[in-house]
């Protein structure tokens, strides 16, 4: 469908014709100041016929093109339905110092826990077509990095840019859940889900996990908790190689309570494969129905008449210059 965004601009189309029919102002017969340099070299036929009919016609065509461009012609495409189903997911990612523990493997490379989360969570975010995603980073306290948005690419970029120690070294799980619940305010028709990834226990914060749990229940927020970290790891000690548990500080009891009391589940991610399986399970969350929406792609076309008007201007200028040069040549010959 073709249309003009500013149809009223077409009212200026007849303006050149009004200028042509206006009566010419009579020239005074008194003395006048002549500037020879302005008329020198112009052929007599051009002086008698200024502006020439061809230039006048070109100027009118250029004016019409400019007015059409000012009216903003545009093409509206066919209506396209956008996803009417989806979820509201708030991702809460732990950035405490313990996330620097290198007990994960990605592409046959030993990496820390946050790097593994970025790798796998990026694929999870990419699949959430139609979902609104938000991102909260927490350590000593919780910070909103991205509000709920359909812009999955930005959420993924902000996650990849996050760094361990950015917001401290400890773990404020209660604050992260509390801030997530706050971001769901005034979203009555949302299925409000929090996915919390951590490798430790609540050690700091203004809100305890118990208080956060109560807030989640009262606000119908479902929490899915994921405990990240390997169960065993071989390290070099003073007396040689020894096997340790790098996840000994993980409070699985608290994370299980947080999840199950709100209708969610607790998952244990000991390696990359298990975390991928967890996200596959989360993909099966039942979407909610939202109001169906449509959009029509819009393509601006104003630059076509604008470019044509510019071309007309160049033609008029080149034609005038050519006639002037031709007059100079004739004068030099005679």
What are the pLDDT digits (tens) for 236-247? 555 556 666 667
Whole-angstrom distance, CA of residue 274 vs CA of residue 299:
46
Check whether residue 154 and residue 106 sit in a common domain. yes
Q: Indicate if 232 and 196 belong to the same structural domain.
A: yes
Helix (H, G, I), strand (E, B) or coil at 66: helix
Q: Does 99 share its domain with 206?
A: yes
| Residues 100 and 327 sit within 8 Å (Cβ to Cβ) | no
Report how far residue 155's alpha carbon sits from residue 166's, in angstroms, rounded to the nearest whole number.
17
* pTM, to two decimals: 0.62
Average pLDDT, the chain: 82
Same domain, 219 and 236: yes
> 263 and 165 in one domain?
yes
Least confident span in 61-65, 153-157, 255-259, 279-283: 279-283
pLDDT band, residue 24 (cuts 50/70/90): low
For residue 191, count other CB atoms closer than 10 A to its CB: 17
For residues 184 and 68, membership in a common domain is answered with no
More reliable by pLDDT, 86 or 15:
15
Q: Tens digit of pLDDT for each residue in 63-77?
A: 899 999 999 999 888
Summarize the confidence of residues 291-317 as an average pLDDT. Answer: 84
pLDDT at residue 144 tops 60: yes
pLDDT digits (tens, 9 = 90+) for 264-300: 999 998 888 888 888 888 887 766 555 556 777 888 8
Write out the residue range of the structural domain in which residue 135 sits: 83-291
Q: pLDDT tens digits for 87-134? A: 789 999 999 998 998 888 888 888 899 998 998 888 889 888 778 899
- Residue 244, helix vs strand vs coil: strand
Side-chain-side CA neighbours of 36 within 13 Å: the count stands at 0
Residues 287 and 301 in one domain: no
Considering the domain architecture, whether residues 56 and 93 belong to the same structural domain is answered as: no
Q: Say what the pLDDT of residue 222 is.
A: 93
- Give the CATH number, domain containing residue 236: 3.40.50.410
Task: Return the pLDDT at 41.
Answer: 45
DSSP result, 246-279: TTTT--HHHHHHHHHTTT--EEEE-SHHHHHHHH
pLDDT of residue 179: 94
> Within this chain, do residues 181 and 307 fall inside the same structural domain, yes or no?
no
Tell whether the model's pLDDT for residue 169 goes beyond 70.
yes
Instruction: Give the range with max mean pLDDT: 10-19, 170-179, 185-194.
Output: 170-179
Residue with tokens 């967890």: 278
Residue 154 has pLDDT above 80, yes or no: yes
Confidence of residue 36 (pLDDT cuts 50, 70, 90): very low
Note whether residue 28 is domain-resident: no
């Amino acid at each position: 469908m073709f249309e003009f965004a500013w149809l009223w601009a077409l009212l200026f189309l007849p303006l050149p014709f009004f200028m042509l029919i206006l009566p010419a102002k009579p020239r005074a017969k008194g003395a006048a100041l002549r500037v020879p340099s302005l008329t020198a070299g112009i052929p007599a036929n051009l002086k008698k016929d200024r502006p020439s009919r061809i230039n006048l016609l070109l100027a009118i065509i250029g004016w019409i093109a400019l007015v059409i461009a000012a009216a903003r012609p545009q093409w509206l495409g066919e209506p396209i339905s956008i996803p009417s189903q989806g979820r509201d997911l708030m991702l809460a990612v732990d950035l405490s110092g313990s996330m620097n523990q290198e007990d994960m493997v990605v592409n046959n490379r030993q990496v820390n826990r946050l790097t593994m989360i970025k790798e796998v969570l990026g694929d999870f975010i990419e699949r959430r077509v139609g979902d609104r995603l938000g991102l909260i980073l927490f350590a000593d306290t919780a910070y909103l990095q991205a509000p709920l948005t359909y812009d999955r690419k930005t959420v993924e970029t902000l996650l990849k840019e996050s760094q361990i120690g950015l917001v401290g070294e400890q773990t404020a799980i209660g604050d992260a859940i509390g801030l997530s619940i706050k971001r769901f305010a005034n979203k009555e028709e949302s299925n409000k889900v929090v996915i919390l990834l951590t490798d430790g226990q609540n050690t700091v914060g203004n809100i305890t996990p118990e208080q956060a749990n109560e807030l989640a229940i009262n606000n119908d927020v479902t929490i899915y908790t994921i405990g990240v970290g390997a169960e065993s790891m071989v390290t070099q000690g003073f007396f040689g190689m020894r096997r340790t548990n790098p996840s000994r500080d993980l409070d699985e009891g608290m994370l299980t309570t947080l999840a199950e009391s709100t209708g969610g589940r607790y998952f244990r991610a000991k390696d990359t494969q298990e975390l991928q399986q967890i996200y596959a399970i989360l993909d099966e969350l039942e979407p909610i129905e939202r109001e169906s929406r449509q959009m029509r792609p819009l393509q601006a076309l104003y630059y076509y008449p604008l470019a044509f008007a510019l071309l007309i201007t160049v033609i008029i200028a080149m034609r005038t210059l050519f006639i002037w040069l031709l007059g100079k040549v004739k004068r030099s010959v005679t």
